[in-house]
Amino acid sequence: MSTASLVGFIGFGAMASRMGANLAKAGYGLVAYTPSGKGGDGSTRFVPTPRALAQEADVVIVCVPDDEALEASLQGADGVLAGMKPGSLLINTSTVAPETSVALAEQGKALGLTVIDAPVAGSTPEAESGNLIILAGGTAEAISRAQPMFDAMGRLTIHAGPAGSGSRLKLVINGIMGATLAVVAEGVTYGLASGLERDMLYDALDAVPVISPHHKRKLKAAKAGDFSPQFPTRLMQKDMRLLLTDGARQMAPLPAMAAATQSLSLTRRRYPNEDYSALFAVMESMVANTP
């Protein structure tokens, strides 16, 4: 893939804009469309419809919140698929249901397109520094074609398997991430309820190796009461829901992840747009009578 290629982004929010910045540093041209109609910082050109973007771009990268937004952006007379030329490459970095990724790959094949499901592991800090992990589903040929772009956006590409495999691997990772945070929050809840001093408790958990670096970052934020969204609760709870739905389809027992989803559902109701670590605030409020 030549670095002269024009990459079009459908969705240009916190993650995509940082991914785009790294592609621009690598020499790619950028054009974008946002479903909200908002966007534009002077360095990226925005177009009025997904179809208009697809007619211009050599590669389309989709980064939208959920299955519904993906459908709205891709399908219909003004959708991406109506504007893409045969032979073009479509990369979906959105976290969506695995069956959605499989269906999109089949639809793309019928239109002569190459489609990769490529959700990413990492939050906004990793997106900004180019240290994302790309979880790619598709053919080896397709992954090879996209590899220069993946290298610009991330530090590692994992070819998870055929279409839909990237989506499945992303649900595995986010399920572990969400369920583990819920367990850490429960530990904090017990500690506070039993009378342990709050700052000591948070500092102790930050010092021990049993807590992952990711969750130590969340602990620091929770101690300070800073839930600025790196991964909003509404998206984490959505991913847990997708995991449980596909898990039931696969007859995979997920009792711990199911329990964590209930806590994250409560958190989403109270803090939908804050970071999912706001679960700490929910749990603390139960035992400390804090807001």
* Active site residues per annotation: 170
* 185-188: long-range pairs with CB below 8 Å, 24+: 185/263, 185/279, 185/280, 185/282, 185/283, 186/283, 188/222, 188/280, 188/283, 188/284
Token pair of 251 as six digits: 């007859």
DSSP string, 138-202: S-HHHHHHHHHHHHHHEEEEEEEESTTHHHHHHHHHHHHHHHHHHHHHHHHHHHHHTT--HHHHH
Contact between residue 128 and residue 119 where contact means Cβ atoms under 8 Å apart: no
Strand partners, 236: none
Question: Can you point out the beta strands (E) in 17-145?
Answer: 29-33, 45-46, 59-62, 89-92, 114-117, 120-121, 132-137
